[in-house]
Structure 1
Amino acid sequence: MGQFRKKMIIVAAAGALAVSSLAGCSRSMDNDAVVAEVGKDKITLGVANFYARMQQAQYETYYAGMMGMTGEDMWKQEIEDGKTYEDSTKESILEALENLYLLEQHATDYKVELTDDDKKAINKAANSFVENNTLEDKEAVSGYEKNVKKFLELVTIQSKMDQPMKEGVDENVSDEEAAQKSMQYVFFSYNKTDEEGNSTALSDDEKAALKETAQALDDSLKASETKDIEAAAKEAGQEVQTATFDSESTSPNADLVKAADALENEGDVTDLVETDSGIYVAKVTSFLDREATDAKKESIVQQRKQEQYDSLLKKWRKDTEIKEHKKVWKKIDFNKQGVTIKQSEPAGDK
């Protein structure tokens, strides 16, 4: 977790939550009950509930709206036989919480510790949360000072462990391994848009006529010495777009990438690439796009670092006895209790 993520978590924890409860839901729980044991550490229900509710608040505040549904509807979605979105999310949350304790246990291996400044920031955020939320809401999310502080200590250590755990990977990536090609392409869409922005599908006759136009452009490009795709597209009333790719790319279209990747020379032009949404014609402009290749190199290095980080956590999980108390964890129910982050009012609003 990077510094930005750390700050976002601390700010969120310092803010106010909006807690909603459905009929029949009891908020009382034994905050000292044990949800899981990670080695010698015991994860209390209080810490687990606060961590889970903070994650839930992020989902319900941002993702549910993006998905066009309420938090309750989102959690009830069945993503596979007998498994809801809530079930899947809670599985991930519990594993992530266990990993936080593993990171804390191995912090000394990397000479990571909480500084005085870290502790001051954590205390300030915990106190702010306690002040900004009602007793009823704090009870619902186990938002007592000790639980909030433990949560913030864990995520702060996580943020400080990220870099050292990723150090030492091979950062040398050859051009051959990262090579990205580039192309210019024209897309003849099977949909048309009117002046009001409404989109309608072309008729079969219109599609046939469009294919003739696309074929004419393709033929003229292949016959041309300059293969000026921009001039040809302009004449056909179309726009030229650009893309970088390699053999594993799927954007802008997997079939288009496959056809472009098969070309033998820079400047070569594909045959028509027909898809369900329209027709593509492309010209390969470079077999080694420098900017895109360098960006791919950085992506490969970051992937190697993440794989090393993940493998360390996997090893620690394997080497550590982890016991989960499912009956206790089940007491945290997203369906019966919603949580969102209260949005700050813009300056000047009443």
Structure 2
Amino acid sequence: MNKNMVKSAGIAALAAAVLFTGCSKFNPDTTLVTINTGDGTKDTISLGYANFAARYQQSMYDQYLLSYYGEGMWSTDMTGTGSTMEDDTKEGVLEDIENQYLAKLHASDYDITLTDEQNTAIADAAKKFISDNPADTLEVMGATEEYVKQYLEYRTYYSLVSSAAKEEAGESISDEDCWMRTFSYVLFDTTGTTDEEGNAVEYTEEEIADLKANAEELAAADDYSAKAEALEATASTYSYLKGEEEDDTMDMAIIEAAEALDEGDTSDVIEIDGVGYYVIHLDADHDEDASQTKKESLESDEFDKLLETWKAAITWTVDEKAWAKVEFDTLFKTLETETEETTEETTDDATTEETTDTEESEDATEDTEVEDTEDTSAEEDTEETSEESDESTEETEAE
């Protein structure tokens, strides 16, 4: 069993405690992706660079997931789709690389170029990363200063271009497009309960009548929150787009009742067949925080559409046989050792933050152990790339 000790520091867009290794059984200069940009220009992405990006992502997942899912996680079908976690992750990495490449390709559309300060910071960060990791581990991994610089540069361009494109898209989004209303709700669930053995137990007619009486008491209360607390009922909140005609999460009967309320009003009892009795209270006719979240979600949607337009304008050809040579055949494990404080370097406000599916720690240097094993596989669908504020509607489910 081959073991390497790895010491890594947080740098710019690369997380702290990065654990690298891998057996490079291929020529890193091999062309993995051939790109025809549509204007007669051809470009390439090397297998070595893509391997670096993939193994880096694997290392992050190993840190957070290995202790939960075990050493066979990378070869396991975690999503039930017939593909392994390794396959899913590698697919996500290629999508990330393409999105980042396209962002850099279209940076001039937004008059974006990296400043001398940003380029210097990226170069310094790459040097520090290489110097902070043992030469033998970097050699096994195939990590080079040039790959780290390329990685940071791509992420920086993606961050800057996506921000600019979203800001531009936001100019055409009206207040009505993202006007969110928020209400509190209590559900008096009539579907029954479970006994100590987990068996379903239906409520009696008398118990259901008591629940309805509690709902009516809450609907008539002057102080909604206080009465809900007195009834030991759980109040949750929900935000929806003003005037919406369909909702994927909340029953439209509840939305329609909310539409009829003014801010501060409480509804009558709303009976939903097979569910129970709802009583809602309109907290905000215009929830500014929820509206901002909705606007950001719409901006992200527009940027995703723009990315698809950019993709359609190029030819992106992957050498699948070469890509198959990148394997997650080595696990990355964090040792339980003393943590050292480290200074994190950043390239610029917008330089270092790109939302990806990889959760990255940002401060702390750790000693880590890389352990060769036969196979690996991690769960979690990282559907990675593209940072979106997912849903504009936020629901906290009541009991």
- Shared fold (TM-score greater than 0.5)? yes
Name the CA distance, whole Å, in 2 between partners of 1:147 and 1:156: 14
Q: What amino acid is aligned across from residue 338 of structure 1 in structure 2?
A: L
SS in 2 for 1:73: coil
Does 2:199 align with 1:211? no
Aligned to 1:338: 331
Query: What is the alpha-carbon distance in structure 1 between the residues aligned to residue 61 and residue 204 of structure 2?
Result: 43
Cα separation, partners in 2 of 1:153 and 1:219, compared to 1, 3 Å: closer
How far off its partner does 1:57 sit?
A: 2.0
* 2:186 aligned partner: 185
What does residue range 153-168 of structure 1 map to in structure 2 within 5 Å? 153-168=153-168
Query: Which letter does structure 2 place at the counterpart of 1:27?
Result: S
The CA deviation at 1:81 is: 4.7
Aligned to 1:269: 268
Q: Which of 22, 30, 33 is the matching residue for 2:30?
A: 33
Distance in 1 (alpha carbons) for counterparts of 2:141 and 2:166: 33
How far the C-alpha of 1:182 sits from its partner, in A, is: 1.2
Give the letter aligned to residue 45 of structure 2.
I
Match in the other structure for 1:59? 61
Match for 2:233: what amino acid? E
Q: Pick closer, same or farther for the CA change 1:173–1:324 going to 2, 3 Å.
A: same
Q: Structure 1: how far apart are the matches of 2:127 and 2:139? A: 15
1:42 Cα offset (Å): 1.1
The 2-side partners of 1:147 and 1:177 are apart by 41
Tell me how far apart the structure 2 counterparts of residues 216 and 284 of structure 1 sit (CA, whole Å).
Answer: 18
* Secondary structure in 2 matching 1:269: coil
Q: Give the percent of matched residue pairs that are identical in Structure 1 and Structure 2.
A: 24
Specify the structure having the higher radius of gyration (Cα): 1
Report the AA paired with residue 112 of structure 2. Answer: V
Please give the alpha-carbon distance, in whole angstroms, between the structure 1 residues aligned to 2:331 and 2:296: 36
Partner of 1:289: 285
Partner-residue secondary structure (3-state), 1:308: helix
How far apart, CA to CA, are the structure 2 residues paired with 1:305 and 1:231?
38
Q: CA deviation at 1:149?
A: 1.4
Q: CA deviation at 1:229?
A: 4.8
Amino acid of the structure 2 residue aligned with 1:310? D
SS in 1 for 2:280: strand
The CA distance in 2 between the partners of 1:82 and 1:186, in whole Å, is 39
User: When you count helix as a share of all residues, which structure comes out higher?
Assistant: 1
User: How much is the aligned-residue C-alpha RMSD, in angstroms?
Assistant: 3.7
Show the counterpart of 1:145.
145
Quick check: 1:45–1:329 contact (8 Å CA) kept in 2?
A: yes
Contact 1:16 1:342 in 2 (8 A): no
For 1:323, the equivalent position in structure 2 comes to: 317
What code does the residue aligned with 1:48 have?
A: A
**1:293-336 superposed Cα distances (whole Å, 9 cap, x missing partner):** x33432332233223322332222211121110011111112x1
The 3-state SS of whatever aligns with 2:44 is strand
8 Å CA contact 1:13–1:54 kept in 2: the answer is no
Alignment size in residue pairs: 319
Tell me, yes or no, if the aligned pair for 2:77 and 2:84 is still in contact at 8 Å. yes
CA drift at 1:127: 1.5
Instruction: Say which SS state the counterpart of residue 10 (structure 1) adopts.
Output: coil
Q: How has the CA–CA distance of structure 1 residues 309 and 340 changed in structure 2, closer, same or farther, with 3 Å as cutoff?
A: farther
The residue correspondences of 1:1-350 to structure 2 (distance < 5 A) are 10=12, 12=14, 16-19=18-21, 26-39=23-36, 40-65=42-67, 68-70=68-70, 72-169=72-169, 170-175=171-176, 178-187=179-188, 204=201, 210-221=207-218, 224=220, 226=221, 229=224, 233=228, 236=231, 238-246=232-240, 254-255=250-251, 258-263=252-257, 264-265=260-261, 266-273=265-272, 279-285=276-282, 289-290=285-286, 292=287, 294-334=288-328, 336-339=329-332, 345-346=338-339
Displacement after TM superposition at 1:284 (Å)? 3.6
What is the Cα deviation at residue 34 of structure 1? 0.9
After TM superposition, give the deviation of residue 130 of structure 1 in Å: 1.4
Gapped regions of structure 1 (runs ≥ 5): 1-7, 194-198
Q: Return closer, same or farther for 1:149/1:297 CA change in 2, 3 Å cut-off.
A: same
Distance verdict in 2 for CA 1:203–1:161, change over 3 Å: closer
Question: Is contact 1:57–1:341 with CA below 8 Å preserved after alignment?
Answer: no
1:80-129: CA deviation from partner (whole Å, max 9, x where unpaired): 45322222221121122122222222223322222222122212221122
Deviates more, 1:95-104 or 1:204-213: 204-213
The equivalent of 1:4 in structure 2 is none
Distance 1:346 1:218, change over 3 A: same
- 1:115–1:83 Cα change, 3 Å: same
On the 8 A contact 2:186/2:234 being kept in 1, the answer is yes
For 1:86 and 1:272, locate their aligned partners in 2 and report how far apart those are by CA, in whole Å: 47
What is the distance in 2 between the residues matched to 1:314 and 1:341?
38
Distance 2:177 2:152 in 1: 44
Q: Closer, same or farther in 2 for the Cα pair 1:141/1:249, shift >3 Å?
A: farther
Give the whole-Å Cα distance in 2 for the aligned partners of 1:242 and 1:43: 49
The answer to whether the Cα contact below 8 Å between 1:15 and 1:129 also exists between their aligned partners in 2 is no
Matches of 1:85 and 1:9, distance apart in 2: 27
Amino acid at match of 1:17: L
Instruction: State the one-letter code of the partner of 2:32.
Output: V
Instruction: Normalising by structure 1, report the TM-score.
Output: 0.75
The TM-score, its normalising length taken from structure 2, stands at 0.67
